[in-house]
Amino acid sequence: MNSKRHIEHFVAPVNETPLLATDTLRVEAAPLSLWADAWHKLRRRPSFIISSAMILLIVIVALAPGLFTQTPPNENCLLAHSEGPPTEGHPLGFTFQGCDVYSRIIHGTQASLSVGALSVICVLVIGVTLGALAGYYGGWIDSILARIGDIFFALPVLLGALVITQLPLFRENKSVWTVVIVISMLAWPQMARITRGAIIEVRQADFVTAARSLGVSKFGALIRHVLPNAIAPVIVLATLNLGAFIVLEATLSFLGIGMPESIMSWGHDISAAQHSIRTNTMILIYPAIALSVTVLSFIMLGDALRDALDPKSLQR
């Protein structure tokens, strides 16, 4: 006797279950690369759009300050205008020495941004080179570079900068390049360590093995295949470091050991405004706001890049 019971299965008619557009799959569409997918994400992030617009404005101000003010920052400084209120042509008032606050902030953008950008470039050259060699070749090269990096890691950047800038060679030759050299000497280990970790993660990939089997030299594989696929975290760190280096330059200038007084710097203006902190606080607040907005812009951009270039975010 057949004990199996007949079970009816209900299947909805096809015309009652139409496929939606989201259910379709474009087989002919090429898969997006890491950079194309990152750009696809960034275009839809308000933080990226806002930070990019702010940075573009800051760059324009640094490159062409004459478009925003016609008043020379160090000329026409009259003590009769000391701590004076805003007037026509001087929207932010005057400093303790009678100089235009707005003009000094506009012209100070160039020095601060130059130090940050040049320091990032130098740190990238040193850190990426040493980190790539250590991570890809390993062995005694990795050991030696790791120990050198540990020595610099043990010295805080600000404390090291305070010591190095007091050496006669640096103290007697203050300039933008002096600050850039000091920052680069102390800030490269972090970049090297990030690069080393990214290189180690990529060097065992199948496409690297395939390139080596096709006759590509070890150094050629590093330059053509490994480094381009490990550069994403380096770009993120460089963006974040740019803001940090601008703050470091302002700190050194505030302490009087950074750039010379002849160069406009927000750190100099904040330091000089200490004399007016009780009588006219806004003289200090204006350059501090300019510094904060600039650093915040690069931090926002770095966060947006990190979220877009993080491979783990693709799995979420």
Q: How high does pLDDT run on average in the chain?
A: 83
Strand spans (E) along the chain: none
Walk me through the domains of the chain, giving residue ranges and CATH numbers: 34-315 (1.10.3720.10)
Cα 263 to chain centroid distance, Å, stands at 23
The pLDDT, as a whole number, for residue 13 is 61
* Measured CA distances, 175 to 106, 120, 121 (Å): 19, 17, 17
> 3-class SS at 216?
coil
Mapped onto helix, strand or coil, the DSSP state of residue 284 is: helix
Residue 272 has pLDDT above 90, yes or no: no
Among candidates 118, 115, 103, 113, which has minimal Cα distance to 65? Answer: 103
Please, where are the H alpha helices in 255-313? Answer: 266-272, 282-309
| pLDDT value of residue 12 | 58
Sign for the pseudo-dihedral over CA of 182, 270, 62, 64: negative
φ, ψ of residue 214 in degrees (nearest 5): -90, 5
Under the banding of pLDDT at 50, 70 and 90, the label for residue 56 is very high
Q: Any idea which residue has 């007084």 for tokens?
A: 261
- What is the pLDDT averaged over residues 11-28? 54
* Token pair of 275 as six digits: 């004399």
**Percentage of residues of the chain with pLDDT beyond 90:** 30
pLDDT higher for 36 or 33? 36
Alpha-carbon distances, residue 54 vs 25, 57, 265, 308 (angstroms): 38, 5, 19, 19
Phi, psi of 72 (to 5 degrees): -65, 140
Q: Could you tell me where the DSSP H helices lie in 76-138?
A: 101-137
What confidence tier does 16 reach under pLDDT thresholds 50, 70, 90?
A: low
- Identify which of 290, 284, 291 has the alpha carbon closest to the alpha carbon of residue 247: 291
Average pLDDT score over residue span 95-99: 83
Q: Give the list of residues 6+ apart from residue 73 with CB closer than 8 angstroms, or none.
A: 99, 100, 103, 104, 106, 107, 108, 264
Please give the single-letter amino acid code of residue 64: A
Q: 96 versus 295: which is more confidently predicted? A: 295
Residue 6 has pLDDT above 70, yes or no: no
Higher-pLDDT residue of 173, 287: 287
Report pLDDT digits (tens) over 199-244.
Answer: 998 888 888 888 888 888 888 888 888 888 888 889 999 999 999 9
Q: According to the model, what pLDDT value does residue 314 have?
A: 46
pTM of the model: 0.82
Q: At 267, is the secondary structure helix, strand, or coil?
A: helix
